Amino acid sequence: MKIIFCGGGTSGHVNPAINIALTIQKRYPDAEISFIGTKRGIESTLVPKSGYKIDFVEVSGFSRKLSLKNIKAAWYAITSVSAAKKIIKRISPDLVIGTGGYVSWPTVKAASKLGIPTLIHEQNAFPGVTTKMLSKVADKVCISFEGSEKFFDEAHRSKLVLTGNPIVIDGISKAEARKKLGLSENEPYILSYGGSMGADKINELAFELMEKYSVPNNVRHTHAIGRVGFAKFDSIAKEKGFYEHKNLNIGEYIYDMALHQAAADVIICRAGAMTLSELAVKGRAAILIPSPYVTEDHQYKNAKLLADAGAAIVYRESEVDGKVLTETVAELISNENKRRRMEESIKKFGTKDSVDVIADTALSLLK
């Protein structure tokens, strides 16, 4: 059995593909799994680290404003399908699975033209343009939220399968995770990140939190800056002397994120669909700062759902500064009962068998 996965740009598209791949590989150890992505996307790093081969095609998104970038994007939209088709013919897969990002378009489109069964997975409540376009040619479309079906053409809704987001359950307890990270039982631990590509606002807030709270109180704090802006904020961290403090751990990316999530007392992050699913399965107290730059403001809508249930604290970027964040973190660290209530509330949003349902749906397409 040969399967090609495609998904890229950010870890929110890549990790779902890796999680599904690992689940299928566990069931069928002899399955030949490979990926198609772009060289500039984070998949070029994450996929090889997961032990899988990856081929690359050139593809980019369209800008909402008229620009020369759209001419290049239009050219890639045409040539990338041919490039993906050559890779697919060489590998001759039995199935192609797409998990979003620009690279899913040429790969799933090419596979469909070649008569190969295809499945796509949408992580967000509001499906992206690529997902809606590919829903016309894919054999199955997995969605993660009830109500998402209304965003698809009625003619293609029979393909939809409500699965949730593919989170791999590692089963590690908070105590085990803390032991692996060298944390004592009652030692406070803060985890912050703005996504694989990073976010200036999250980085600025995290650094101010370190200055005002983590350093003075010697609180363990891990922060991922992200790929974009790493040089800038790495330089700032050096200027502030953050690397001299043993309680601070600052890097570009956290490769063992599940371990850190399991160990953390408070997590500060964006509100992407995969992130929220991970927090729900792990049952962690979170301060969410949704990105204001996503389509239809879906990060805020998803986060508000948790906030209304007492499962998370949510701030818009315009509402939060270092002082507000520091006060909120300090309260959560000191108020264990409040943290426990949030942890129990967010667990209700977790779906633990999603990755198996997606794998079942995909494998059912095999001839």
In the sheet where 285-288 sits, what is the strand order?
Answer: 248-251, 220-224, 189-193, 266-269, 285-288, 313-314
Mean pLDDT value across residues 162-178: 89
Question: Which backbone phi and psi does 211 adopt, to 5 degrees?
Answer: -65, -40
Q: What is the pLDDT of residue 298?
A: 79
What span, in angstroms and rounded, lies between the C-alpha atoms of 229 and 203?
A: 9
Distances in whole angstroms, Cα of residue 203 to Cα of each of 192, 194, 198, 207, 316: 9, 7, 8, 6, 15
The DSSP output letter for 61 is P
Q: What is the pLDDT of residue 137?
A: 97
CATH number of 174-347: 3.40.50.2000
Q: What is the pLDDT of residue 97?
A: 98
Tell me: pLDDT of 76 over 70: no
Q: Any idea which of 131-135, 166-170, 214-218, 294-298 has the lowest mean pLDDT?
A: 294-298
What span, in angstroms and rounded, lies between the C-alpha atoms of 213 and 211?
A: 6
Tell me: pLDDT of 62 over 60: no
Domain ranges of the chain: 2-168+352-363, 174-347
What span, in angstroms and rounded, lies between the C-alpha atoms of 47 and 39?
A: 11
Q: What is the pLDDT of residue 352?
A: 79
Gyration radius of the chain over CA positions: 21
Share of the chain above pLDDT 90, in %: 78
CB 192 within 8 A of CB 202: yes
Instruction: Tell me the pLDDT of the chain averaged across its residues.
Output: 92
Q: What is the pLDDT of residue 141?
A: 98
Q: Which two tokens stand for residue 154?
A: 């009625």
Q: What is the pLDDT of residue 71?
A: 53
Q: What are the residues whose beta carbons fall under 8 Å from the beta carbon of 40, sequence distance 6 or more?
A: none
pTM of the complete model: 0.79
Question: Which backbone phi and psi does 279 adopt, to 5 degrees?
Answer: -65, -35
Quick one: angle between helices 200-209 and 230-239, nearest 10? 20
Q: Which two tokens stand for residue 312?
A: 């998370």
Q: What is the pLDDT of residue 331?
A: 97
Alpha helices in the chain (DSSP H): 11-27, 43-49, 68-91, 104-113, 129-134, 174-180, 200-209, 230-239, 257-263, 273-282, 298-308, 322-334, 336-347, 354-363
Q: What is the pLDDT of residue 351?
A: 79
What span, in angstroms and rounded, lies between the C-alpha atoms of 223 and 116?
A: 42
Coil, helix or strand at residue 314: strand
pLDDT band at 297 (very low <50, low <70, confident <90, very high): confident
Tell me: pLDDT of 112 over 90: yes
Tell me: pLDDT of 295 over 90: no
pLDDT band at 263 (very low <50, low <70, confident <90, very high): very high
Architecture of domain 2-168+352-363: 3-Layer(aba) Sandwich (3.40)
